[in-house]
Chains A and B, each alone.
Chain A
Amino acid sequence: MNGAQDMGGLHGFGPVEPEQNEPVFHADWEKRAFALTLAMGTPGGWNIDMSRFVRENRPPAEYLSMSYYQIWFAGLEALLKERALVTDDEIVVGHALHPPKPVERILSPGDVAQVLYRGGPTERETNTKARFKAGDTVRAKNINPLTHTRLPRYVRGHLGQIERVIGCHVFPDSNATGAGENPQWLYTVRFDGRELWGEGADPSVTVSVDAWEPYLEPL
């Protein structure tokens, strides 16, 4: 979706302001929101692309007014409610009011280290051949899906070169909607800064994105 999360090239946000000796979290609720989000991935049954979509799927003014972990927390609430794992009345009173839905398993303390160490690799076996090879010129398609996509607006319609054939990876545009992993070839595509930002742009700058094959067309 063309939401506020797709920020590349926007103006007006001001300078980057690094914080000296920044703590990992800035408030206790951030820690809990972070940990709840990770832990609920086990019984919740959603995937990372669904998580990303519920975070970005809100009015731009709202997205921009929320802090990072406020967005995470709102996303978690949305995922829980979608699956009826939690209901609005329970959130209001702060207690369970309905019997739990059966879940396959939950994250136990003994599993934490192993679950984090395993992670969620997205590379998949394939019988298909990659359509592009390193050095090929491609155009990023002009697509504007209402659903989740990982092709940023600032490269759409622009010409780039395949820098690397990465492998076959889970396709977020499918995975986010529950339509399955639908693995696709993934490439690093590099764009000249002047191709993206115009003739006045810094000629020493190039920008790459990692783009799945359905995002690309041959020249």
Chain B
Amino acid sequence: MSGHDYHDHDHSELTETQLRVRALETVLTEKGYVDPAALDLLIETYEKKVGPRNGARVVAKAWADPAFRARLFKDATPAIAELGYAGRQGEHIVALENTPQRHNMVVCTLCSCYPWPVLGLPPVWYKSAPYRSRAVADPRGVLKDFGVSLPKDTEIRVWDSTAEIRYLVIPIRPAGTDGWSEEKLAELVTRDSMIGTGLPKQPKDLK
């Protein structure tokens, strides 16, 4: 599956897909199966409200609050729900702890399973054939594509999301952040660091 294909398709094919989607929406609306206002709300939810800033808040709290961290690794779903994040594609969440000895990376080789309530909808690369094919066979090569290089003896644990369990990586708290507020810590947390294809920002990266 080539995520960027629609950029390569010629104009008429793109138009055909657009027209087909519009046609189906019209049919479904006329038949009373969908309410266009509900569609707008669904789009707005995942464009504006639900995204990786949610996950960053979870990670920052896990860094700053030892009691929360303990609850998160014991049973992530209720712990994350304390912050108000729950539901579709995050019904059963497991938090994965990165340590200096162990790095976790999450993939869905069969489709695109991803923890929506904390990360939003997955980026194109996560759903693409290059990532889905190589993450399980050559995770270090994939990390290199992201500009990440880990020590040779760091254990790499890849998690293929083949069921309805959704995985959230909790990266290592950057050094030099003692006493930081959760709000400031959250600025260090990148989306990719919660998938395991990236590392958090360092204090010097914040302007």
Binding site for B on A (CB under 8 A): 4-11, 13-19, 22, 24-29, 31-36, 38-40, 43, 48, 52, 55-56, 63-68, 70-71, 73, 76-77, 80, 85-86, 90-91, 93-96, 100, 103, 106-109, 111-113, 115-123, 150-152, 154, 166, 169-170, 172, 186, 188, 190, 196-197, 201-202, 204-212
Contact in complex: B6, A67 (CB < 8 Å): yes
Q: Does B45 contact A (CB under 8 A)?
A: yes
Contact in complex: B33, A40 (CB < 8 Å): yes
Interface residues contributed by chain B, number (CB under 8 Å): 85
Which chain B residue lies CB-closest to A211?
A: B162
Contact in complex: A8, B137 (CB < 8 Å): yes
Q: Does B22 contact A (CB under 8 A)?
A: yes
Which chain B residue lies CB-closest to A205?
A: B156
Q: Smallest distance from the beta carbon of B195 to chain A beta carbons, Å?
A: 11
Q: Which of B35-43, B63-71, B169-177, B199-207 is near enough to bind chain A?
A: B35-43
In the complex, A188→B157 CA distance in Å? Answer: 12
Selected A-B contacts with CB under 8 Å, 18 pairs? A8-B136, A9-B133, A16-B128, A16-B131, A27-B14, A29-B18, A31-B47, A40-B28, A64-B2, A67-B4, A94-B19, A121-B91, A150-B110, A186-B163, A196-B136, A205-B139, A207-B159, A210-B165
Which chain A residue lies CB-closest to B48?
A: A24
Which chain B residue lies CB-closest to A99?
A: B31
- CB neighbours (8 Å) of B130 from chain A are 13-17
Q: Does B86 contact A (CB under 8 A)?
A: yes
Q: Does B10 contact A (CB under 8 A)?
A: no
B residues 83-125 with Cβ under 8 Å of A?
Answer: 86-92, 109-112, 120-121, 123-125
- CB neighbours (8 Å) of A122 from chain B are 91-92, 163-164
Report B135-150 CB contacts with A as 1/0, cut-off 8 Å. Answer: 1111110100110000
In the complex, A122→B14 CA distance in Å? Answer: 37
- CB neighbours (8 Å) of A31 from chain B are 43, 47
- CB neighbours (8 Å) of B41 from chain A are 109, 112-113
